[in-house]
Amino acid sequence: MLGKVCVIGGGISGITSAILLQKKGFEVTLIEARNRLGGRLCSYYNSVGLSFDNGKHILAGWYNKTLELISILGTSDKLIRLRGLRTVFIEKDGKHSELFISNNFIFSFFNILKFKKLSLKDILNLVFFLRTVKKNNIKKEFLRLSVRDLLFKYKQTLPLFEYFWNPFVISVFNTIPERLSSDIFLNVLNEGFKNSDNLDLILFGDSIDDIFINPFIKYAEKNNIRILKSSKIEQIIFDDKLIKKIIINGKVQNSYNYYVLSVSSQNLSNIFIQSKIIPDIINSFDFKYNSIMNIHIFYKNIPDEYLKNKTYGMFGIINGLSHWWFFHKSLISVVISCPELSIKDYSLLSNEKLKGMVLNELSQRLKWFDINQVSDIKLLKDKKATFVSEIGTSNFRPENSTLFKNLFITGDFTNTGFPSTIESAVKSAYNMTEKICESR
């Protein structure tokens, strides 16, 4: 046994940390404030036991560490892999149009030609820009620009924004191109172009509970990882650059050799403020967050062509209120990213009004949609869903090691080079595990 570790926070980063540290030979306790694990990954159940997740989480082919974690959990068979970056859009009049981009630009060029919304000039400009990114030839001075300004420098036209860049940026980064920093945007594109599988989109064929949470609980039981739910860390007590004790639910605990804080950036600031840890560190956790809204509509008899199309039920919505519609089993899930930026007067709209607006959009674009077939609707707003990768954010994302030799930090906001995603949270846990082992 290499020592006792207390992992604080049972989100995906804490879960991954617990598994990796146990595999290295540490005795692990995982402490979570809520009465459930998963953090920003969460499944709910309606009154008749049908599950729906807090968000339609999507993975990408470049999520190497997340795919490794899912393989450890034994649930890779519950993933649905779409080859390449393929989107089927539903237009205002209900017509479908398909856009497909792969790692092979000549092949992509001919495929994009079939997408009638873009002119030849648009397509040439797009392919030229993607090639420049793949060859790593973007000018260094442009890394400090917003994505909107960067794309204008490379002659990306308004139709390209409308049909490609806006949907891409909103769904991957949960913000708009004018608010996104080019460095993180280019990191993601570079990952996507590294090999032919990396651009693939990966959907969940089952609930978050079935893919992550329940398999982890089984894994923990089998491998002696202790899980304490409803246990909130209030304060850490330090002395001479070492954490000596922590206070959980008002009680002092001092039986651990290492502490790993896997909480979100705001919770980390709160713990540090309570613990009277140097204000300079706290300021650096001042990330801005955007929300995500999901509206799950339970619907009888979704037509097969929407459940089993080329993108397995995933459709992009152009010039609408919604960004994505997902059709899966008897559920239509509507995703609206960063609604505070994308919906006019969002803060003034009641949930009932928002539900009505979404149902109206479904009725307008889908001939078969009949409101009488809706058996239940759930509207979920995750107010602090993802931090925003604005210009300059990369400069203050914290490392996994801290000033305290036995205290480590993980989470999507640490310095992974990735945006606020599952992959960033999981990769952060892998990086931390290396750091903790090196420190011994």
Ligand X SMILES: Cc1cc2nc3c(=O)[nH]c(=O)nc-3n(C[C@H](O)[C@H](O)[C@H](O)COP(=O)(O)OP(=O)(O)OC[C@H]3O[C@@H](n4cnc5c(N)ncnc54)[C@H](O)[C@@H]3O)c2cc1C
Site residues, ligand X (CB under 6 A): 8-14, 31-34, 39-41, 54-55, 57-58, 232-233, 262-264, 267, 271, 292, 294, 382, 385-386, 411-412, 420-423, 425
- Comparing CB distances to ligand X, the nearer of 156 and 428 is 428
What is the C-alpha separation between 285 and 264, in angstroms, rounded? 9
Task: Using the minimum distance from each CB to ligand X, give the nearer residue, 155 or 378.
Answer: 378
Nearer to ligand X, 200 or 423 (CB): 423
Q: At closest approach, how far in Å is the CB of 324 from ligand X?
A: 10
**12: Cβ–Cβ under 8 A, 6 or more apart, which residues?**
38, 39, 40, 41, 69, 212, 422, 425, 426
SS3 category, 350: coil
Q: Which is nearer to ligand X, 181 or 262 (CB)?
A: 262
Instruction: Between 118 and 432, name the residue whose CB sits nearer to ligand X.
Output: 432
Long-range contacts made by residues 276-285, C-beta under 8 angstroms, separation at least 24?
277/236, 277/238, 278/403, 281/398, 281/402, 281/403, 284/396, 284/398, 285/398, 285/413
CB-wise, 145 or 422, nearer to ligand X? Answer: 422
Residue 157 vs 270, nearer CB to ligand X:
270
Q: Where are the alpha helices (DSSP H) in 276-421?
A: 279-283, 304-307, 339-342, 351-365
274/94 Cα distance (integer angstroms):
54
Pairing of strands 289-299, 331-337: antiparallel
Q: Which helix (H) or strand (E) holds 376?
A: strand 374-387
Q: How far is the CB of 4 from ligand X (least distance, A)?
A: 17
CB of 271 vs ligand X, minimal distance in Å: 6
Distance in Å, CB of 154 to ligand X, minimum:
26
Residues whose CB is less than 8 angstroms from the CB of residue 296 and which lie 6 or more positions away in sequence, other chains included: 52, 331, 332, 333, 334, 377, 378, 379, 380
410 contacts 432 by C-beta, under 8 angstroms: yes
To ligand X, the closest distance from the beta carbon of 332 in angstroms equals 16
DSSP notation for 115-162: -TTS-HHHHHHHHHHHHHHHTT-S-GGGGGSBHHHHHHHTT--HHHII
What is the nearest approach in angstroms of ligand X to the Cβ of residue 264? 4
CB of 265 to ligand X, least distance (A): 9
Q: Other CB atoms closer than 10 Å to residue 289's CB: what's the count? A: 18
Distance CA 382, CA 151 (A): 29
Comparison of 172 and 391: residue with beta carbon closer to ligand X = 172
As measured in angstroms, the least distance from the Cβ of 107 to ligand X is 26
Looking at the DSSP assignment, which residues form a beta bridge with residue 227?
30
